[in-house]
Amino acid sequence: MALELVSSSKCFNGFQKVYKHFSAELNCSMNFSVYEPLNPEKKKLNVLFYLSGLTCTEQNFIQKSGFQRYASEKEFLVVGPDTSPRKFLMDFNWIK
């Protein structure tokens, strides 16, 4: 799976990033976000996966929650996938 970095922004004491990849299972491109606190010692970090609601993208959690400050202080990664890829959902006749 090839990852493409879509965006990277300095946020508190770390970086908020968004990546894109192609999902063979859903046959469409999908995004996910990763908050990475600075980790100069390269120690192992805990990871929290946040699954938003059905109509949410990876951006909802990034923009509305303010989690980055806490994740930076406690030094853990936060991964937020797009839980409703639009192309995949639009391929179903009942949604059109």
What CATH number corresponds to the domain at position 9?
Answer: 3.40.50.1820
Position 80 in a domain:
yes
Amino acid identity of 23? Answer: S
Position 20 in a domain:
yes
pLDDT tens profile 60-84: 788 888 899 999 999 999 998 887 7
Position 72 in a domain:
yes
Centre a 10 Å sphere on the Cβ of residue 80 and count the other Cβ atoms it contains. 26
The DSSP call for residue 18 is E
Position 96 in a domain:
no
Q: Is the pLDDT of residue 15 over 50?
A: yes
What pLDDT sits at residue 89? 52
pLDDT tens profile 18-62: 999 988 887 788 889 999 999 888 899 999 998 877 777 778 788
Domain hosting 25: range is: 4-90
Position 78 in a domain:
yes
> CA gyration radius for the chain?
15
91 pLDDT band, cuts 50/70/90, is: low
Position 21 in a domain:
yes
Structural domains in the chain (count): 1
Position 79 in a domain:
yes
Centre a 10 Å sphere on the Cβ of residue 73 and count the other Cβ atoms it contains. 11
| Token pair recorded at residue 7 | 């965006």
